[in-house]
Structure 1
Amino acid sequence: MSLYDIPVETASGEITSLGAFDDKLLLIVNVASRCGLTPQYGDLQQLQEKYRDRGFQVVGFPCNQFNGQEPGTNEEIQEFCVATYGVDFPVFGKIEVNGENRHPVYDVLTETQDAAGEAGDVAWNFEKYLVAPGGDIVARVRPQESPATDEFVALVEANLPVAAAA
């Protein structure tokens, strides 16, 4: 089964998939509202705004597995994201990213190695996976690396499916 075919739940409880994004450079991030890394929401939103017209899409999956840093309901999470960071990218329903109840999307993602050659469990909130159009996972970036770094932005730019307008 392709990453794009796996059922995911929207924040409002509807079942959908990532299929609508199969032609985009997709950045999948496990997110949390009460984490020291939560300001990355703002960086993610800036990337979304800057590159959306070039085929880029951020999606967030809230997860409460790391020190209970995402305790809210799906509705509360949505309200926080919009009110605090102006998020307009999809933030899906809360899931688990590790353990026996790991969401199937993360079964696929966690097989990917990071720059140090390590795969396996998600380390913390805001671990980032960059998925090329068609489904190849091109990068796994650990939580501490901000999506605002020059290195991360260069990685995004190198994989965008649509060239910059002249």
Structure 2
Amino acid sequence: MAVREVPINSLAGTRIRLREYAGTAMLIVNVASECGLTGQYTALERLHRDYRTRGFTVLGVPCNQFYGQEPGDPVEIAEFCSTRFDVTFPMTEKVEVNGQGRHPLYDGLVEAPDADGYRGDIRWNFEKFLVTPDDVVAARFAPTVEPDSPEVRAAIERVLPR
């Protein structure tokens, strides 16, 4: 199933229509509020603001599967993201990214390899997937790769709509 055809809800519980992002590039990231990598929200927001007028968005996907590092309810998650990191990019409901309860959004994403050839289960919070405007997973980045690193920015530049 294409990424933009997968039904998913926002943190507020309303349906996010990912097909409304057709023609734009997306960086899909499983996020957590109590992780050592949580500071990446700053760089994710910077990317979102730097590229949104050029056909790009970040999509944050809260997940609590890694040592319970996203324990909050939707209101707490939204408040944390807005007050601590001024997040303006869309955020989904909290989902599972691995195992039998894996959200369908991640079924296709986990098959994409990263630069080292790794494919499969999400390894940790803040694993990133770059999806092209025509719904192809163009790149996968390990959790420790900073969102605004030169390699991520170059990959985004390559897939932005012309």
What TM-score range do you get, normalising by the shorter chain?
over 0.9
Where 1:61 maps in the other structure, the secondary structure is strand
| Residue of structure 2 equivalent to 1:16 | 16
- TM-score, normalization by structure 1: 0.95
| Residue of structure 1 equivalent to 2:53 | 53
Report the alpha carbon displacement of residue 17 of structure 1 after superposing the two structures with TM. 2.9
Letter in 1 for 2:16: T
**C-alpha RMSD over aligned residues:** 0.9
- State the distance in 2 between where 1:105 and 1:83 align: 27
Report the alpha carbon displacement of residue 140 of structure 1 after superposing the two structures with TM. 0.5
Q: Is the 8 A contact 2:24 2:56 kept in 1?
A: yes
| Residue of structure 2 equivalent to 1:158 | 158
Percent same amino acid at aligned positions? 48
Where 2:72 maps in the other structure, the secondary structure is coil
- Residues 102-150 of structure 1: per-residue CA shift (max 9 Å, x gap): 0000011001111111110000000000000010110000100001211
Letter in 2 for 1:107: D
Unaligned runs of 5+ in 2: none
Unaligned runs of 5+ in 1: none
| Residue of structure 2 equivalent to 1:67 | 67
Runs of 4+ more than 6 Å apart: none
Report the alpha carbon displacement of residue 23 of structure 1 after superposing the two structures with TM. 0.9
- State the distance in 2 between where 1:126 and 1:41 align: 9
- State the distance in 2 between where 1:21 and 1:83 align: 26
Q: Is the 8 A contact 2:8 2:17 kept in 1?
A: yes
Report the alpha carbon displacement of residue 20 of structure 1 after superposing the two structures with TM. 1.0
Segment drifting more, 59-68 vs 145-154 = 145-154
Q: Is the 8 A contact 2:9 2:15 kept in 1?
A: yes
Paired residues, number: 162
Report the alpha carbon displacement of residue 14 of structure 1 after superposing the two structures with TM. 1.7
| Residue of structure 1 equivalent to 2:102 | 102
Q: Is the 8 A contact 2:26 2:59 kept in 1?
A: yes
- State the distance in 2 between where 1:119 and 1:87 align: 29
- TM-score, normalization by structure 2: 0.97
Where 2:71 maps in the other structure, the secondary structure is coil
Is 1:34 matched with 2:41? no
Q: Is the 8 A contact 2:44 2:147 kept in 1?
A: yes
Residues 149 and 16 of structure 1, relative CA distance in 2, 3 Å threshold: closer
- State the distance in 2 between where 1:17 and 1:54 align: 20
Where 2:45 maps in the other structure, the secondary structure is helix
| Residue of structure 2 equivalent to 1:83 | 83
Is 1:137 matched with 2:137? yes
Q: Is the 8 A contact 2:16 2:92 kept in 1?
A: no
Letter in 2 for 1:117: G
